[in-house]
Amino acid sequence: MPRIKILPEILSNKIAAGEVVERPASVVKEVLENSLDAGATHILIEIGGGGRTLIRVSDNGRGMDSDDAMLAIERYATSKIQVDSDLFAIGTLGFRGEALPSIASVSRFTLISRPRDQDEGIEIKIAGGKLVNVSTVGAPPGTMVEVRQLFYNTPARRKFLKTINTELGHISDTVVQMAMGWPQVHFELKHNSKTIKLWPTTSDPAQRVAEVLGRNVLPHLFQIQTDQEALAISGWLASSKVSRSFSKGLYLYVNGRFVRDRMVQHAVMEAYRGRLMKGRFPVGALFIKVPADQVDVNVHPTKHEVRFADSRQIHDTLLQVVREALIGNERPAWQHKADQSGKIASGSTPDRVQETPLVFNRNSQRIQAVPSAAKITAPENKYQGQTQEPPGLNFTREDAKQSSLWKEPFFSSLALIGQLKNAYLVCEDKEGLILIDQHAVHERIRFETLRKKGRQQQPASQMLLMPETVELGYAEAAVLEAALSDLNQMGIEIEPFGGNTFVVKAIPVILSRANIHELIKDVADKLVAVGSIDDISHAMDACRIVMACHRSIRAHQALNRQEIMALLNQLDHCEDPAHCPHGRPTWIRIDLATVEKRFGRTGNL
Contact between 335 and Mg ion (CB under 5 A)? no
**Cβ 435 vs Cβ 392: under 8 Å:** no
Q: Which is nearer to Mg ion, 34 or 438 (CB)?
A: 34
Span near ligand ADP by CB under 6 A; candidates 8-16, 97-105, 286-294, 464-472: 97-105
Contacts of 222 (CB under 8 A, 6+ apart): 236, 237, 238, 239, 325, 328, 329
Contacts of 236 (CB under 8 A, 6+ apart): 205, 206, 209, 210, 221, 222, 223, 224, 284, 285
From the list ligand ADP, Mg ion, none, partner contacted by residue 587 (C-beta under 5 to 8 A by kind): none
Q: Which is nearer to Mg ion, 73 or 528 (CB)?
A: 73
What is the footprint of ligand ADP within residues 38-77 (CB under 6 A)? Answer: 38, 59, 61-64, 72, 77
Which of 150, 159, 175, 152 has the alpha carbon at shortest distance from 32? 175
Residue nearest to ligand ADP (CB): 94
Q: Which is nearer to Mg ion, 49 or 97 (CB)?
A: 97
Supply the minimum distance, in Å, between the C-beta of residue 197 and ligand ADP.
20
- Is the alpha carbon torsion for 184, 185, 190, 194 positive or negative? positive
E-state strands within 346-460 = 358-361, 366-369, 415-420, 424-429, 432-437
Neighbours of 378 (CB within 10 A): 11
Residues 6-35: x/- map of binding to Mg ion (CB under 5 A)? ----------------------------x-
Span near ligand ADP by CB under 6 A; candidates 89-97, 313-321, 439-447, 579-587: 89-97
Contact between 122 and ligand ADP (CB under 6 A)? no
Supply the minimum distance, in Å, between the C-beta of residue 179 and Mg ion.
18
Contacts of 145 (CB under 8 A, 6+ apart): 31, 34, 56, 57, 100, 103, 109, 110, 111
Contact between 99 and Mg ion (CB under 5 A)? yes
What is the footprint of Mg ion within residues 27-86 (CB under 5 A)? Answer: 34
Supply the minimum distance, in Å, between the C-beta of residue 28 and ligand ADP.
13
Q: Which is nearer to ligand ADP, 56 or 331 (CB)?
A: 56
**Cβ 84 vs Cβ 92: under 8 Å:** no
Q: Which is nearer to ligand ADP, 257 or 280 (CB)?
A: 257
Classify each residue of 547-585 as buried b or exposed e, where b means 16 or more C-beta atoms within 10 Å of its C-beta.
bbbbbbbebeeeeeeeebeebbebbeebebbbbbbbebb
Burial class (CB in 10 A: 0-12, 13-18, 19+), 343: exposed
Widest CA span of the chain, in angstroms?
97
**Cβ 252 vs Cβ 260: under 8 Å:** yes
**Interacting residue with ligand ADP among 79, 216, 388, 412 (CB under 6 A):** 79
**Interacting residue with ligand ADP among 80, 125, 158, 266 (CB under 6 A):** 80
**CA distance linking residue 353 with residue 351, whole number of Å:** 5
**Interacting residue with Mg ion among 63, 94, 169, 183 (CB under 5 A):** 94
**CA distance linking residue 329 with residue 325, whole number of Å:** 6
**Interacting residue with ligand ADP among 13, 78, 110, 154 (CB under 6 A):** 78
From the list ligand ADP, Mg ion, none, partner contacted by residue 90 (C-beta under 5 to 8 A by kind): none
Q: Which is nearer to ligand ADP, 145 or 548 (CB)?
A: 145
Contact between 97 and ligand ADP (CB under 6 A)? yes
**Cβ 261 vs Cβ 305: under 8 Å:** yes
**Interacting residue with ligand ADP among 35, 60, 265, 570 (CB under 6 A):** 35
Contact between 13 and ligand ADP (CB under 6 A)? no
Which residues would be at the binding site for ligand ADP (CB under 6 A)? 30, 34-35, 38, 59, 61-64, 72, 77-80, 94-100, 143
Which residues would be at the binding site for Mg ion (CB under 5 A)? 34, 94, 99
